[in-house]
Amino acid sequence: MANRFWVSSKVLAVVITIAAILCVPVFVSAQTKSAAAAKADKNAATNTPKKAWVLPHTPDGQPDLQGYWTSLSFTPMERPAQYAGREFLTDEEVAQIHKEGIQHSYEFTFNDLAETPVYDATVYALSAWQEGVAPNRRTSLVVDPPDGKIPALTPEAAKAREAARKHGPNQDYANPNAPVKADVAEDLNLGERCLSFGGPPILPGAYNSNFQIVQGAGYVMIEYEWNNEIRLIPLDGRPALSQGIHRWHGDSRGHWEGNTLVVETSNFRPGATFQNANAKTLKITEYFARLDQNTIEYKFTIDDPSTWTKPWSAIVPLSHMDGPIFEYDCTENNNDAVNILAGARATEKAAAEKARNISQKQ
């Protein structure tokens, strides 16, 4: 039927868009900038400021990282094959790719994996360009290993991941028509349950990829937009928690190295780790360095010998944005949990009805 054909074309458009974004990463230089690129993104770092920028400090003398920041980025996690051996792109490539990325994101609609458009993200100012995506000069987020690729998994981690993908609840995203296992709440993912949307590390997300940093005596606070999840990072050199306490975002301790905030996080909660790494052995180190008024260079190092054959690092550019971050009432409004579970029950009931009718006719 015509409607279905149109949907299929839309699928194709989305897939092509995805492929285009995958193959054509976007950047801008933190150092050099063409006039076009500068105009293209008011949030990107300026390299030829009118007067020298001075790193602001909080009243108690710490580098000031405060404000609202977005990690939204078109840059892929790993370096695409066409840029093998290249860490950075030229200014012209940056500007061109940013422009194309903007045009693609203009077509961004929310849809489900069954490819039915739900609503136009532009209406809600949730397209990447409306949310202030900044260009990035890098070919990939991963910067170490130098080939821009995440190191290999350990054999046991590879096995565990494959098992999780096959048998994990409600997780077969590769097949949108796979039957949904939704018997109990635990069959839903942590986000659908409003338990955790992840982090550390900070990564680019599809939208609302934002957070706020506030600094108070001896603490740095990071508030994520998604579910207003909070990380409170003490800077007073206190000992880490024992393995007797596990926190959803791990246990963090911070200190300054020059003007860079270094945050070390370990002691994660099993089942809630980055890429399902080992909660006991995973260690994440984050580095926050403010490059200019609108940019923080954020780097993270992932170290888990149980999961990856060697540590690896990535740099995610953070761009300043306007606030506020409004309250995010996830569990108070969790329609998804109800609808997914109720939907599974309805499907089971319909199947049972059908089976009954068939057997009755026989």
Q: Which is nearer to other proteins, 65 or 289 (CB)?
A: 65
Angle between helix axes 2-23 and 91-106 (nearest 10 degrees) is 160
Percentages helix, strand, coil for the chain (3-state, rounded to 5) are 30, 25, 50
Return the H-helix or E-strand segment holding 252. Answer: strand 251-257
DSSP classification of residue 178 = S
Task: List binders of other proteins among 306-325 (CB under 8 A).
Answer: 321-325
Cα torsion angle, 137, 139, 141, 142, sign = negative
Q: How many CB atoms lie within 10 A of CB 174?
A: 8
Alpha-carbon distance of 287 to 46, in angstroms, equals 21
Alpha-carbon distance of 338 to 331, in angstroms, equals 11
Return the H-helix or E-strand segment holding 69. Answer: strand 67-70
Does position 11 interact with other proteins (CB under 8 A)? The reply is no
Q: Cis link prior to 49 (omega < 30° from 0)?
A: no
Q: Which is nearer to other proteins, 204 or 285 (CB)?
A: 204
Task: List binders of other proteins among 92-111 (CB under 8 A).
Answer: 98-99, 101-103, 105-106, 108-111
Task: List binders of other proteins among 326-345 (CB under 8 A).
Answer: 326-345
Q: Which is nearer to other proteins, 181 or 283 (CB)?
A: 181
Smallest separation (angstroms) from other proteins to the CB of 85: 20
Considering only residues 91, 93, 131, 286, which one is a binding residue for other proteins as defined by CB under 8 A?
131
Smallest separation (angstroms) from other proteins to the CB of 119: 5
Q: Which is nearer to other proteins, 35 or 362 (CB)?
A: 35
Does position 218 interact with other proteins (CB under 8 A)? The reply is yes
Q: Which is nearer to other proteins, 238 or 361 (CB)?
A: 238
Q: Which is nearer to other proteins, 90 or 208 (CB)?
A: 208
Task: List binders of other proteins among 19-38 (CB under 8 A).
Answer: 21-22, 36
Q: Do residues 182 and 343 lie in contact, with contact meaning Cβ atoms separated by under 8 Å?
A: yes
Binding mask 34-73 for other proteins (x = CB under 8 A): --x--xxxx---------------xxx-----x-----xx
Give phi and psi for 304, each to the nearest 5: -150, 95
Considering only residues 85, 112, 257, 362, which one is a binding residue for other proteins as defined by CB under 8 A?
112
Q: Which is nearer to other proteins, 337 or 362 (CB)?
A: 337
Size of the site for other proteins (CB under 8 A): 133
Does position 248 interact with other proteins (CB under 8 A)? The reply is yes
Buried b (16+ CB within 10 A) or exposed e, 20-31: ebeebbbbbbbe
* Three-class SS state of 255: strand
Q: Which two tokens stand for residue 357?
A: 């009718």
Smallest separation (angstroms) from other proteins to the CB of 17: 9
Considering only residues 116, 243, 309, 357, which one is a binding residue for other proteins as defined by CB under 8 A?
116
Largest Cα separation within the chain, whole Å, is 86
Q: Cα separations (Å) of 230 from 196, 199, 212?
A: 11, 10, 10
Task: List binders of other proteins among 169-208 (CB under 8 A).
Answer: 170-171, 173-174, 176, 180, 182-186, 189-198, 203-208
Does position 143 interact with other proteins (CB under 8 A)? The reply is no
Does position 288 interact with other proteins (CB under 8 A)? The reply is no
Does position 77 interact with other proteins (CB under 8 A)? The reply is yes
Binding mask 256-275 for other proteins (x = CB under 8 A): ------------------xx
Q: Which two tokens stand for residue 175?
A: 């097949």
Q: Which is nearer to other proteins, 81 or 217 (CB)?
A: 217
Does position 223 interact with other proteins (CB under 8 A)? The reply is yes
Smallest separation (angstroms) from other proteins to the CB of 291: 21
Burial classification of residue 138, based on how many CB atoms lie within 10 Å of its CB (0-12 exposed, 13-18 middle, 19 or more buried) = buried
Q: How many helices (H) does the chain have, and how many strands (E)?
A: 5, 12
